[in-house]
């Protein structure tokens, strides 16, 4: 199923009740900055235990400290460069999580890179490969290695992160746009594979224009003050992570429906 705007409107205005994610164990990729950081803090404030995965350790430590200072459940940090990580690295993460937590209730696949913005005819191969590694291969490997832990959850939720250029191609968005089409395809494939056999929900969120470093890189001339900050787009993330979205799977929803 593709974008369901009616559901996007409803879900994007969801008001999460306090304690919605109490007792849940949620892994967020790219948890040190931008939307991933805001989502991790938001999930923690709703009671979840966060596993903060990302590239820059200092940024993850900052989020860790903030979660602790606010008295939320103690998080964990997994430093990982998704561009260079090996299959063995992912397997190690899965066995550590199994030992420490025994299961996984939520997986927000948020980390991504933009790469170059130029026509495909002139797109450098090394950048193309780098974008595919971070935005596609890493998502696949995380899903593949973490599925056994997610299946142990009573109501697991996987959220992929898409973009409007992953639904309708756009000139100069190059590898990034192609990678987001792949993400939509991965979500649909996994949702179809799990629909009748588990409680697992598998969906995509398109955050829409959001005030982050990636957005500033894509639109250097834009005034960031005109954009929603990451903290203001989280209702849909809470909805899909929590139990009120039971049975919602295979959807690609907009955090800021127009």
Ligand X SMILES: NC(=O)c1ccc[n+]([C@@H]2O[C@H](COP(=O)([O-])OP(=O)(O)OC[C@H]3O[C@@H](n4cnc5c(N)ncnc54)[C@H](OP(=O)(O)O)[C@@H]3O)[C@@H](O)[C@H]2O)c1
Half-sphere exposure of 227 (CA within 13 A, CB side): 21
Q: How far apart are CA 232 and CA 86, in angstroms?
A: 35
81 or 95: whose CB is closer to ligand X?
A: 81
Confirm or reject binding of residue 91 to ligand X (CB under 6 A): no
**Helical (H) or strand (E) element with 26:** strand 25-29
Beta partners for 205? 161, 253
Provide the token pair at 257: 């429906």
Half-sphere exposure of 40 (CA within 13 A, CB side): 33
Cα distances (Å, whole numbers) of residue 21 to 50, 72, 229: 11, 11, 22
80 or 187: whose CB is closer to ligand X?
A: 80
Give the nearest distance from C-beta 59 to ligand X in angstroms: 5
Site for ligand X in 4-63 (CB under 6 A): 30, 32-36, 54-56, 59
Beta partners for 201? 157
Active-site amino acid positions? 176
In this chain, which residue has its C-beta nearest to ligand X?
34
Give the nearest distance from C-beta 164 to ligand X in angstroms: 7
72 or 159: whose CB is closer to ligand X?
A: 159
Of positions 110, 188, 194, 252, contacts ligand X by CB under 6 A: 110
- Whether the CB-CB separation of 201 and 151 falls below 8 Å is answered with no
Site for ligand X in 138-197 (CB under 6 A): 161, 163
Of positions 22, 81, 96, 189, contacts ligand X by CB under 6 A: 81
Q: How far apart are CA 166 and CA 162, in angstroms?
A: 6
Q: How far apart are CA 180 and CA 92, in angstroms?
A: 27
8 or 163: whose CB is closer to ligand X?
A: 163
Give the nearest distance from C-beta 200 to ligand X in angstroms: 21
152 or 228: whose CB is closer to ligand X?
A: 228
DSSP summary character for residue 17: P
Q: What is the CA radius of gyration of the chain?
A: 17
Give the nearest distance from C-beta 30 to ligand X in angstroms: 3
Site for ligand X in 188-247 (CB under 6 A): 207, 209-210, 212-215
Candidate segments 107-115, 167-175, 231-239, 245-253, binder of ligand X by CB under 6 A: 107-115
Q: How far apart are CA 138 and CA 97, in angstroms?
A: 17
How many residues sit close enough to ligand X to count as binding (CB under 6 A)? 28
Give the nearest distance from C-beta 236 to ligand X in angstroms: 12
State whether residue 111 is helix, strand or coil.
coil
* List of residues contacting ligand X (CB under 6 A): 30, 32-36, 54-56, 59, 80-83, 110-113, 134, 161, 163, 207, 209-210, 212-215
């Amino acid at each position: 199923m593709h974008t369901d705007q009616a559901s996007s409107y409803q879900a994007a205005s969801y008001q999460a009740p306090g304690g919605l994610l109490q007792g849940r164990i949620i892994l967020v990729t790219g948890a040190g900055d931008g939307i991933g950081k805001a989502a991790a803090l938001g999930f923690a404030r709703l009671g979840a235990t966060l596993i903060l995965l990302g590239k820059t350790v200092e940024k993850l430590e900052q989020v860790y400290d903030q979660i602790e200072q606010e008295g939320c459940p103690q998080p964990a940090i997994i430093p990982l460069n998704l561009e260079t990580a090996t299959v063995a690295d992912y397997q190690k993460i899965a066995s550590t999580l199994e030992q420490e937590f025994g299961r996984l209730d939520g997986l927000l696949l948020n980390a991504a890179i933009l790469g170059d913005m130029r026509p495909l005819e002139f797109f450098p191969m090394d950048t193309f490969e780098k974008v595919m590694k971070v935005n596609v291969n890493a998502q696949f490997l995380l899903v593949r290695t973490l599925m056994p832990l997610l299946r142990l959850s009573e109501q697991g939720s996987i959220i992929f992160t898409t973009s409007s250029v992953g639904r309708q191609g756009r000139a100069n968005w190059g590898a990034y746009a192609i990678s987001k089409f792949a993400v939509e395809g991965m979500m649909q494939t996994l949702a179809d594979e799990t629909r009748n056999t588990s409680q697992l929900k598998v969906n995509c969120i398109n955050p829409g224009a959001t005030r982050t470093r990636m957005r500033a890189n894509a639109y250097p001339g834009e005034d960031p003050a005109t954009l929603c900050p990451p903290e203001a787009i989280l209702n849909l993330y809470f909805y899909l992570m929590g139990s009120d979205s039971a049975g919602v799977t295979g959807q690609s929803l907009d955090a800021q429906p127009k």
